[in-house]
Structure 1
Amino acid sequence: MSLLPVMKKGVHGMKRMALTSRSPIDMVHLKKLAPALSCMFSTAVDEGHTNGSPRVNAHHVPDARTAPPFHAKDNQIDSSAISRRHWESDWSIEELRAAQAKNVVATWGPTKATANLPMLTHSEGVYLYDSDGKQYLDWTSQAVCTNLGYDVPPAVVEAVTKQLTTLPMVYGGLGMVEVRCRMAQLLSEILPGDLTGLLFPCGGGEANEAAIRIARRYTGRQKVLTQYRSYHGGSTTGLAATGDFRRWWAESNATGFIKMLSPNPTTFSWADSERAAGEMALAALEEQIIHEGPGTIAAILLESIIGSGGALKHPPGYIQGVRALCDKYGIVYIADEVMVGFGRTGELWGFQHYEGVIPDIVTSAKGLSAAYMPLAMVAMRQSLKDFFEDAPLGWGATYQAHPVALACAYECVKHLLEHNIPAHAKAMEATMVEEMGALLERHPSVRQARAAGLFGCLDLVDADGQYVQQVSGPAAPASMELKKAMMDNGLFGLFRPPFLHCAPPLVITEAELRDGFSRLDRSLDTFDKAVGL
């Protein structure tokens, strides 16, 4: 068919032909005519509807795009650059320090601050040794995690070796392994109430992230309430849940986290007594829940005993009150036991210090495997477990329930139970209190001290009786002098001024504990002078 009659009819005639059943043109013909029609329509718009201006209401003309130049780089590996020294056992300290300076990056602090960290070489009991042979007593179980010290129980070594040589890896969504089933059952047996469902993430922060996801999925709500004086992990979700200054690095990228004031704030007191302070904080919390909207709140996430914020127990009745508010408003109560779980405070679980309380979700890590292998746990009550029998959990990780880490932790927990290590931590509390009391008498720079089992902390102040610095910094010169004095006196561990934690491995003897306090006593002499006391 010739295009000439069609084109002479113009656009409107073309439309009439397409819509009339007697038209000699059908849709097949229209497709064939598409290029000509496109030109015709364009001409009609450019020439027939511009009122004399060829560029008014015309087809859009974009900028011409020039692709940016690609600068090729050599992305091949030069095998000759791989040092043969990697296949040799002994490196000099100079070689190690050179590799550190060139390639190692720090985490929470600036990398240059790690340049002179001791090069640790071996360990024994509760002691560490550096490349110069200097001995250090591990005063905070590193990050409050090396709970069983450095003499790894033979059963742990045997179990890890056996798992590595028989079945080193199984992805949890594809297969089941014996140790996962046994570990889940053991934990359900040592948790009170109906905390029966278990997950096994790789670390405490990941466990808290999973717990938050579970609460949101279970309730269909978004908000999570946490305290300012708290720490819940280093991921974006964990830091958004965190209350201390570290959340500033991540909270803008996460939503739904609401902060509540602790019953132990740092700049004021709710009341003159602990119980009254707890009651006031609970009243403020319920007011906050009402105004946030109870139907929008998925969970309240609390450390059972505040950890990096100062080793603080909650006031009498406070956690029971939080549990009651969660029941009243249908909110999931999550107990963060990452630091204090597995006997640190003299009880197997930190929430056992609060009579009658059973959380909906419990997270823990650190003491679970004594930090020999990276592993954490999330325990949930039966009602939550039942919900996820048919609904997907919506959380997962490649190394969740890693069989080698589980084999390690399984033997660690059995060792903890067989040797009644929580009871030993509880027995050592009396020595902790006695030695801390002596430090308070001797050092005016120590304002207060607290201890629960082998979890303790000192509050450090300046000559005016105020905190020597805020946790967020900047670092006070006196704090830096104390840190150096502790290292000089062979006392190794975390120091987060104005809080000085005392949390040695749970296997420490009374003599070793007193040795640690003696080293700390000498270090505080330096601090007293540094703050002018």
Structure 2
Amino acid sequence: MKYSIRSENQLVDYSQSDRSPYLGILWPIPISSSTMSAASVTSSAFRAAVKGAKHWPHKSPALTKAVDNTSNLSVPPEHDLPMGTWSSEQIREAVSDSVMLTWAPGKARHNTPILTHGEGVYLFDDKGNKFLDWTSQAVCSNIGYTVPDNVIDGTTRQMKELPFVYGGLGICEVRARLSSLISSILPGDLQGMVFPSSGSEANEAAIMLARRYTGKYKVINWYRSYHGGTTNSQQATGDFRRWFGGDHVPGFVKAMNPYPLFFDLAGETEAERTQMALNMLEEQILNEGPDTIAMVQFESVVGGGGVVIPPEGYMQGVRAMCDKYNILLHCDEVMVGFGRTGKLFGFQNYEGVIPDIVTAAKGVSSAILPISVCATRKHIMDAFDDKPLGWGSTYQAHPVAMACAYENVKYLLKEDVIGHVNSLEPVFEQAMEAISNNHPSIKQYRHVGMFGCFDVHLPDGSNPQLQHTAIDKAFVEYKKAYTANGLIGLLRPPHLHIAPPLTITKEELVDGFERQDKALYVLDEALGF
């Protein structure tokens, strides 16, 4: 086979038989006149080429899987029936056809109970069963299910008068009122407010504003933590839910919690172990580079990871460390803010500590409507007078949600719900201690305010299940007994959370612990005790 090209007005032949022994190079051999005609034909194609970067002919694919994308603009008759009149079969069919779950596999929707209504601290299902809500659902229904009249009235009034204002287009009175009220009850100069729609969004806003304020980008979080399901908040999360997002968002650094799962920190006393935990954190900051770290972001009390309360002096040490290295401190109060721990905010359990940023969600509206808050200190607020925050949402500062939160917070304060929590804390403590002593499956317990957790262990003392693994059959049996005894709530083995509505009565609280006590006998047996 021959290759021809015109070079310096002479046709030359690149013959496979005349390859150089070095690198397979083809050396030019002059072409005789007898082959000129064929060579001319070959070279004519090359003469048609021009120097440049022209496109190749190409045709994009045509749509072959066309689908009818018109909509049915009529309301099917079953949707004109009053709410509450669908049969259980109709609900199950619609759920099977169109409902997706989030943190649970989709097939679980087929067995999720159909809840029809609530009253006080109780929930009712379509079969007439009555359940005591033992974890305020996701630790959020803080005043239960009998919504106070002032909350209903204030929310519906706002819906009638001005249902929506885009936050960058106008200011409504309820936004000014809620900002002022929360600023007045927060300690120190925490007074710059935005109101996203969820805890995840509030933490997303905190991360963005910390990075823009400091000009630095790293965020330090505990491994044993949860901060949300949006891109940055999920990466800030320490537990297994971070993996769902691929665990590849840069700028997040994980630190060990002061109470590790499988080892003890060095030290003879708790004070010495606390100092060791602080030394570990400071060495990590130095190795990462303080000038690269925008924020330390910790839950004031670790929630989903087992109600982990930092030891005495730890949060004060973290605050001092942030001051030393010019790093912002953010306390995530999404789960414990607005009274859960017996203080208005969880960080108030740590004397002298004021975070630079605080976020809260669930308790601000008692989950009646979706709203959260991200609050900053005044010097941070002032820094954004001449530049955007860098975070936003269409529903930030939604008037109807703010009206609900405004009236809910006033209710918490006027009815002294936090005082009620503190009055029941001794009952809570005694019940947890009695149950721990009564059941060999319980390794230990922790609580603060109306927030508690039992840790479960096996007969040999080992951990029965990590949170990211499929639920063990022993906990499946416990869940059945839990439900059979009239309790409903989240289950996060090996941790058993207790977080009833803050408005629960003493009699209801004692009753709830008695029900859990009965269910735990099933767990004892299932684990081999």
TM-score (structure 2 length as normaliser): 0.89
The one-letter code sitting in structure 1 at the alignment partner of 2:58 is R
**Equivalent-residue separation in structure 2 for 1:332 and 1:147 (angstroms):** 30
Matched, 1:145 2:159: no
Instruction: Tell me by how many angstroms 1:318 deviates.
Output: 0.6
- 1:261 matched to 2:261: no
Counterpart of 1:313 in 2: which secondary structure? coil
Instruction: Kindly indicate whether residue 295 of structure 2 is the aligned counterpart of residue 299 of structure 1.
Output: yes
Q: How far apart are residue 177 of structure 1 and its match?
A: 0.7
The alignment status of 1:235 with 2:230, answered yes or no, reads yes
Q: Give how far 1:171 is off.
A: 0.6
Cα deviation per residue 1:371-390 (whole Å; 9 max; x = unaligned)?
00101001100110110111
Q: 1:320: which partner in 2?
A: 316
Partner residue of 2:63? Answer: 70
User: 1:451 aligned to 2:447?
Assistant: yes
> What secondary structure does 2:86 align onto?
coil
Aligned to 2:503: 507
Given that 1:236 and 1:253 are in contact with CA atoms closer than 8 Å, whether structure 2 keeps it comes out as: no
- Mapped to 1, the partners of 2:129 and 2:294 lie a distance apart of 50
2:102 is the alignment partner of 1:121: no
Deviation at residue 65 of structure 1 after TM alignment: 2.2
Aligned equivalents of 1:204, 1:273: Cα separation in 2: 36
**Alpha carbons 2:322, 2:329 under 8 Å: kept:** yes
CA displacement at 1:73 relative to structure 2:
1.4
The residue aligned with 2:281 is 285
Return the alpha-carbon distance in structure 1 between the equivalents of residues 404 and 495 of structure 2: 32
- C-alpha displacement at 1:482, in angstroms? 1.1
Q: Return the letter of the residue paired with 1:223.
A: K
**Following the alignment from structure 1 to structure 2, what is the Cα–Cα distance between the partners of residues 448 and 380?**
36
Instruction: Note the C-alpha offset of 1:424.
Output: 1.2
Compared CA separation, residues 391 and 519, structure 1 to 2 (3 A):
same
The answer to whether the Cα contact below 8 Å between 2:95 and 2:109 also exists between their aligned partners in 1 is no
Does the residue aligned with 2:392 lie in a helix, a strand or coil?
Answer: coil
User: CA 1:286–1:54 in 2, change beyond 3 Å: closer, same or farther?
Assistant: same
Counterpart check, 1:223 vs 2:195: no
Answering whether residue 477 of structure 2 is matched by residue 484 of structure 1, we say no
What CA distance in whole angstroms lies between the structure 1 residues aligned with 2:147 and 2:447?
A: 26
CA offset digits 1:228-247 (Å, max 9, x no partner): 00000111111100000000
Determine which of 376, 383, 393 is the counterpart of 1:397: 393
Output one character per residue of 1:369-420: Cα deviation in whole Å (capped at 9) or x when no partner: 0000101001100110110111211111111111111111111101101111
Aligned partners of 1:64 and 1:489: how far apart in 2?
72
**Letter of the 2:244 counterpart:** W
Conserved 8 A contact 1:459-1:467: no
Superposition pairs for residues 409-424 of structure 1, below 5 Å?
409-424=405-420
Q: Matched residues in 1 for 2:276 and 2:174: separation? A: 46
Aligned equivalent of 1:348, options 339, 344, 349:
344
Larger mean Cα displacement after TM superposition, 352-361 or 426-435: 426-435
Following TM superposition, by how much is the alpha carbon of 1:470 offset from its aligned partner in structure 2, in angstroms? 0.1
Structure 1 residues 162, 79: closer, same or farther in 2, change over 3 A? closer
Quote the offset at 1:206 in angstroms.
0.4
Identical-pair percentage: 51
Q: Could you tell me which of 493, 499, 509 is aligned with 1:497?
A: 493
In the alignment, the residues of structure 2 paired with residue 368 and residue 492 of structure 1 have an alpha-carbon distance, to the nearest angstrom, of 23
Gaps of 5+ in 2: 1-39
For 1:462, the equivalent position in structure 2 comes to 458
Deviations 1:458-496 (A, max 9, x none): 001122222220011122111111112111111111110
Instruction: Name the count of aligned residue pairs.
Output: 484
For residues 495 and 386 of structure 2, the distance between their equivalents in structure 1, rounded to whole angstroms, comes to 46
Question: Would the alpha carbon gap of residues 251 and 318 (structure 1) be closer, same or farther in structure 2, given more than 3 Å must change?
Answer: farther
Partner of 1:34: none
For the Cα contact (< 8 Å) 1:426–1:452, is it kept in 2?
Answer: no
Question: 1:62 deviation in Å?
Answer: 6.0
Q: Does 1:427 align with 2:423?
A: yes
**Cα separation, 2, equivalents of 1:78 and 1:367:** 40
Q: Deviations over 1:349-379 (max 9, x none)?
A: 1001111000000000100000001010011
Q: Secondary structure at the match of 1:321?
A: helix
* Partner secondary structure for residue 247 of structure 2: helix
- Alpha-carbon distance in 2 for matches of 1:292, 1:59: 49
Tell me, in whole angstroms, the C-alpha distance in 2 between the residues paired with 1:186 and 1:67: 59
Give the drift of 1:215. 0.4
Structure 1 equivalent of residue 100 of structure 2: 105
- Determine the structure 2 residue equivalent to 1:338: 334
TM-score for both structures, normalised by structure 1: 0.88
Q: CA deviation at 1:52?
A: 11
| Distance across 1 between alignment mates of 2:462 and 2:510 | 28
Given that residues 96 and 109 in structure 2 are in contact (C-alpha distance below 8 angstroms), is that contact kept between their aligned partners in structure 1? no
Shift of 1:275: 2.4
Cα RMSD (Å) of the superposition? 1.8
Would you say 1:155 and 2:150 are equivalent positions? yes
